Copies of this chain bind each other. A is one copy, B any other.
């Protein structure tokens, strides 16, 4: 088994070794770990998930009450919004993720909509805030002065249609580093929305502007000829090459299986691979079945050059709306959303 790659030890941030990608489901002990604060200790007997705010009635649930609600299992890929940050030049602040701040699991839990139905969402509801038990001092200014809890919001329409409150991950109870006993799983959104150690839900009549969607996890969106700070939300269409790895030496005049994964907020319709630094693109083969909200593995059987030389590989994905990856970095994403096509340099020898 491949070792996880450490990106930060306190708080714990571990990367899935993406070059070891071999199955659609990431094993639990290989699934990337993203923490903002120390992993909280939670007493399972007294634990309750509460819902308050713009609802008919405040409600709260014990873990056994939640496990008795309608249960669904869903395959969802989570990608950290900072995945690929190590490719940015010059280096920017934040964990230096390479390609493995992305993983896929089968999550079992109850739809958030089932919980909200019991609370009764008011007509003025606009935003839904999810708060974890984890807390600490925010890292970068501007930041609130004391300790804060991790919290993040999603629009009420998303909350009512497409969010899971999960307690099992790949058919095992969630582990502490993955948010035990309860976490949100928000398909199609960057991982920061899938709040771990979830204990409090607030339905709000206004857009939430907490630290983790203003100072952190936001980007600059053109509006009115200016740029406005906007919370990150949906993942962007993206393909990554698992094999070969950067700087790998591959045999000349041989058959080589180039493979990787591709994902986005919408269905992946095509993956293309360039073996000549972007001059021409070949169509790769999509593997397996499509699962809405999960990545798609792909492969391309390459006949390597006869003569030794260096080669630049570029993969790019297309989605069902005809969108593909830009070849250049858009600086408005700040330190996040590294979604432009990333060249991989290898040697044929």
Contact = CB atoms under 8 A, between A and B. Distances in A.
A132 to B, nearest CB: 11
Given A209-B228, A226-B210, A228-B210, A332 B141 contact: no
Interface string A201-220: 01010011111001100101
A31 B53 CA distance: 47
A144 B230 CA distance: 12
Contact of A148 (B131, B142, B146, B227): B227
Contacts of A214: 214, 218, 228-229
A322 interface: no
Nearest to A212: B226
Contacts of A144: 220, 227, 331-332
Contacts of A202: 224-225
Contact of A229 (B53, B215, B224, B332): B215
A145 interface: yes
A19 interface: no
Contact of A210 (B149, B227, B334): B227
Nearest to A215: B142
Interface residues on A, range: 35 or more
Given A146-B331, A215-B142, A332-B144, A209 B224 contact: no
Interface of A: 53, 93, 129, 131, 140-142, 144-146, 148-149, 151, 200, 202, 204, 207-211, 214-215, 218, 220, 223-230, 331-332, 334-335
Given A129-B224, A148-B226, A211-B227, 16 more contacts: A129-B226, A141-B334, A142-B334, A144-B220, A145-B220, A145-B331, A145-B334, A200-B225, A208-B224, A208-B226, A209-B228, A209-B230, A210-B227, A210-B228, A210-B229, A214-B228
6 contacts: A93-B141, A145-B332, A146-B331, A207-B207, A208-B226, A208-B228
